[in-house]
């Protein structure tokens, strides 16, 4: 199929929308009968046009927002219950304590070395040069993990203990 000019596409779309005069409409129908490329393009655009007409968007009613908002519960809480928060805080504290004890006893001092990526068998089309070696120090990695664990513990402590305490304190002052 040859390229159809944009003006022909516009003419087809105007015909499909019913925006042509009677003279232009009959002229277009005659050229449609004689030109195979134009006819093929017409059927393509007709298919798109008909499918767009068939799939009209449904709009919500005028009171949609009001009905949704009235059905929402005003007591939606974002967060966790104090019991679950304290249990999670206890678990983080235990993991933090065990990590510090094991780190201070020297349990990770011997876990150092180098990870060589050249031992991995990759097809030659993916690698043209040698792969780097990565130094590995478990002691340093454990210190990072303990620091992250400590940050999580502070966030949990804030969410489960401090925020409810100060919220209750502020409410009791207002009364």
pLDDT digits (tens, 9 = 90+) for 84-137: 888 888 998 898 898 888 888 888 778 788 877 777 776 666 666 777 788 888
Cβ distance 20 to 14 under 8 Å?
yes
pLDDT digits (tens, 9 = 90+) for 53-68: 777 667 777 888 888 8
> In the 3-class helix/strand/coil scheme, how is the chain assigned residue by residue?
CCCCCHHHHHHHHHHHHCCCCHHHHHHHHHHHHHCHHHHHHHHHHHHHHHHHHHCCCCCCCCCHHHHHHHHCCCCCCCCCCHHHHHHHHHHHHHHHHHHHHHHHCCCCCCCEEEEEHHHCCCCCCCCCCCCCEEEEEHHHHHHHHHHHHHHHHHHHHHHHHHHHHHHHHHHHHHC
From CA 13, how far away is CA 45, in angstroms rounded? 7
- Among 2-11, 40-49, 94-103, where is mean pLDDT lowest? 2-11
Tokens of 151: 């940050």
From CA 41, how far away is CA 124, in angstroms rounded? 48
What is the domain partition of the chain in residue ranges?
6-54, 82-174
Task: Report whether pLDDT(3) > 80.
Answer: no
**Greater pLDDT, 103 or 2:** 103
From CA 175, how far away is CA 168, in angstroms rounded? 11
Cβ distance 95 to 156 under 8 Å?
no
């Amino acid at each position: 199929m040859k390229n159809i000019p944009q003006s022909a596409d516009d003419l087809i779309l105007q015909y499909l929308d019913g925006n042509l005069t009677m003279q232009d409409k009959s002229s277009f129908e005659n050229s449609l009968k004689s030109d195979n490329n134009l006819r093929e393009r017409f059927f393509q655009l007709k298919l798109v046009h008909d499918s767009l007409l068939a799939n009209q968007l449904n709009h919500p009613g005028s009171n949609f927002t009001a009905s949704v908002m009235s059905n929402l519960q005003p007591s939606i809480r974002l967060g966790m219950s104090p019991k679950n928060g304290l249990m999670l805080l206890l678990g983080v504290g235990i993991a933090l304590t065990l990590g510090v004890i094991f780190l201070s006893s020297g349990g990770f001092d011997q876990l150092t070395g180098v990870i060589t990526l050249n031992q991995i068998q990759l097809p030659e089309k993916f690698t043209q040069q040698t792969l780097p070696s990565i130094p590995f120090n478990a002691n340093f990695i454990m210190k990072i993990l303990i620091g992250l664990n400590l940050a999580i513990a502070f966030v949990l402590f804030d969410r489960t203990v401090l925020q409810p305490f100060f919220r209750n304190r502020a409410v009791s002052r207002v009364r």
